[in-house]
Structure 1
Amino acid sequence: MRLLIMGPPGAGKGTQAVALAERVCGPHISTGDIFRHNIRRRTELGALAEKFIAAGEYVPDAVTDAMVRDRLAEPDAASAFVLDGYPRTAQQVATLDDLLDARGAFVDGVIELVVPDEQLVARIRRRSADGGRLDDTEEVVRHRLAVYSAQTAPLLRAYGERGLLYRLDGTGDLEAVRQRINFALGV
């Protein structure tokens, strides 16, 4: 099963994607993790990504697509995966469709976690206090929420038109959200 998990920063995508990936027997593929891995390794793509992340901007499609393309080519992602944080633009949707089509595959479902903005800001501030990330200041988070709304939310409509979208309440405890996801997907 090839799934996407979407939602604004702080919606709990990563936490839920890990458990969901186990259920579908595929890897959890997070663009955030891919970016941080490339930044730590000081790759050329990582250096480009770091500039945008620090400013609260999305990493350009060409950079993100190259990193995701490499990751999806790994053997563990051949038949199942949960993509977290990708796609975020219409161009990335087209790229993902092309990558999967070349393998005779397709996206099986898209989970959208819905959480009110104030709860998102509070969650991210807690996350920052627990370990800190350079993209977790309140100003940057609010900017990212606005960018998400403008750029990514329209993709949800497109996946909805394909009959793939499951809009789920992302509030409450982790297990309650996990149960909503499992019920929606029948896994």
Structure 2
Amino acid sequence: MLNLVLFGPPGAGKGTQSAKLIEKYQLVHISTGDLFRMHIKEETALGKQVKQILADGLLVPDQVTIDMLEEEVQKNPQAKGFIFDGFPRTVAQAQALDDFLAGKGESINLVVKLDVTEEEIKQRIAERQKISGRVDDEAEKLLKRIDEYFSKTIHVLPYYEGQGKVAVVNGIGNIETIFQNLCQEIDAVIAS
């Protein structure tokens, strides 16, 4: 089984690259953001709780996120592997994911950091907003999430670096070139 973590701030290209990786490696994509949106749309108890937290521009508490993610993994017993997108965002989440996977005889094989500068991210977000027509308060929340990534989430990387599982891929440039660089890193792990 191949288990990947795609790491990077909002706007780094995780969604774009995930779609390509899913197709090539037949992995199940688990995006905590997508799961949160689904729960919010379906107005579940979790969805109502998450809606308020996200409206405030904050990260959802670890245990809520972990429970939701474990439930999603359990729904896919035949999976060839998973891409975890937007998770883990804290060391506690990373440890919980390791413990959960170890209980299934699995582990994270590779953590790929899409390396994109904060300046590039903000430019991409500005362009995305022009296209999508998002209102200014949405932009403020997105910028808060970007700041949260660079001040808090980035600290998860040393946890995985200590396990020798981090690969850094330049996330700026041609989408296809970035994808080929990602595949090189993944294929090296598969071959080892």
TM-score normalised over the length of structure 2? 0.89
1:55-105 CA distances to partner (integer Å, 9 max, x unpaired)? 221111122112111111112564401110000011111111111011000
For 1:118, the equivalent position in structure 2 comes to 119
Aligned to 1:100, the other structure's residue is in SS state helix
Separation of aligned partners in 2, 1:76 and 1:105: 12
Q: CA 1:70–1:15 in structure 2 vs 1: closer, same or farther (change >3 Å)?
A: same
Match of 1:184 in 2: 185
Partner SS, residue 152 of structure 2: helix
Q: Decide whether the 8 Å contact of 2:6 with 2:111 is kept in 1.
A: yes
- Consecutive unaligned residues in structure 1, runs of 5 or more: none
- State the alpha-carbon separation in 1 of the partners of residues 80 and 12 from structure 2: 26
The more displaced of 38-47 and 56-65 is 56-65
Q: Is the 8 A contact 2:28 2:79 kept in 1?
A: no
Comparing 72-81 with 166-175, greater Cα deviation is found at 72-81
Whole-angstrom CA distance in 1 between matches of 2:133 and 2:27: 28
For residues 186 and 74 of structure 2, the distance between their equivalents in structure 1, rounded to whole angstroms, comes to 25
Aligned residue for 2:56?
Answer: 55
Aligned to 1:22: 23
Q: Within the alignment, does 1:39 sit opposite 2:31 as a pair?
A: no
How big is the alpha-carbon RMSD for the aligned residues of Structure 1 and Structure 2? 2.0
% same residue: 36
The aligned length equals: 187
Q: In structure 2, the residue corresponding to 1:139 is in which secondary structure?
A: helix
User: 3-state SS of the aligned residue for 1:11?
Assistant: coil
| CA–CA distance in structure 2, aligned partners of residues 77 and 139 of structure 1 | 40
Shift of 1:27: 1.1
| TM-score normalised over the length of structure 1 | 0.91
Shift in alpha-carbon separation, 1:67–1:5, aligned structure 2, 3 A:
same
Do residues 158 (structure 1) and 159 (structure 2) align? yes
The 1-side partners of 2:34 and 2:128 are apart by 16
Number of the residue aligned with 1:81: 82
Contact 1:111 1:165 in 2 (8 A): yes
Deviations 1:122-175 (Å, cap 9, x if unpaired)?
212333343366898333233222211222111111111111001111001211
Which whole-Å CA distance do the structure 1 matches of 2:34 and 2:111 have between them? 20
Uncovered stretches (5+) of structure 2, i.e. residues with no partner:
none
Residue in 1 that maps onto 2:145: 144
Q: Distance in 2 between matches of 1:103 and 1:160?
A: 23
